[in-house]
Amino acid sequence: MYKLVLLPFFTLIAGFLFGPSPNQSIPKHQRGTQSYPEHLTGAFTGGFGEETCRSCHFDYDLNPDGGSLSVAGIPKTIDAGQSLTITITVDRKKLGKGGFQLSARYPDGRQAGRFEIEGNSRIMATSSIPDSLQYVQHSKAGTKPTAQSEARWQINWKAPKTVSDTIIFNIAVNAANGDQSEFGDFIYAQEITVAHRDGKK
């Protein structure tokens, strides 16, 4: 019984300690066979029936008082082919490390547009995601706070050439204490639904 309980925690901590270098490029076909920064693999944005990072960091309720998640750069409407620079910020007192995951999908769950992450050492693609979808998250280097009590990430996203429906952005962040465990961390999540220029929400 104890082995069954302790194994997932050991796996989480091992992933935290031995994730790849932030500059290491992981080919798509090899994702799922490597160690992962901060042990985040799979979908945890909170959208489309997914869990959030609270599935592991479960000490507190989702979106607790005393901190915040803010998202800038996503307009109310989007044109086909439009490029966005999305800024995600998590703020909480005594933040030791931060993490996030982001997706962009149509209401039926299909991928919408593409995230451009090349050359950004604070961001990487999430492992264990179907090839038809794209999720992005913090890299190991990206867990470092960017200011006192704050972690921030910038991601470029390009809308598809034809926008066939509203687009749903799902974001989950972790305001972590940095003690290399799943305890004492605060999870925030947000969903943003955007109309395409000729459509309606």
Tokens of residue 131, six digits: 């090839």
Domains: count for the chain: 1
Q: What is the CATH number of the domain that holds 105?
A: 2.60.40.4060
* Per-residue pLDDT at 23: 37
The whole domain housing 170 covers 2-196
pLDDT in tens, 103-160: 999 999 999 999 999 999 999 999 889 999 999 999 999 999 999 999 999 999 999 9
pLDDT reading at 179 higher than 50: yes
pLDDT in tens, 64-81: 899 999 999 999 999 999
Residue 184 in domain: yes
Cα–Cα distance list, 39 to 16, 48, 56, 76 (Å): 6, 22, 10, 33
Nearest residue to 173 (alpha-carbon basis) of 79, 64, 15: 64
For the chain, the average pLDDT equals: 79
Q: Spell out the residues 6+ positions from residue 12 whose beta carbon is closer than 8 angstroms to its own.
A: 39, 56, 182
pLDDT in tens, 9-66: 434 433 433 343 333 343 333 333 233 345 667 888 988 888 776 556 656 577 789 9
Residue 14 in domain: yes
Residue 201 in domain: no
Residue 173 in domain: yes
Task: Determine contact, residues 197/81, Cβ cutoff 8 Å.
Answer: no
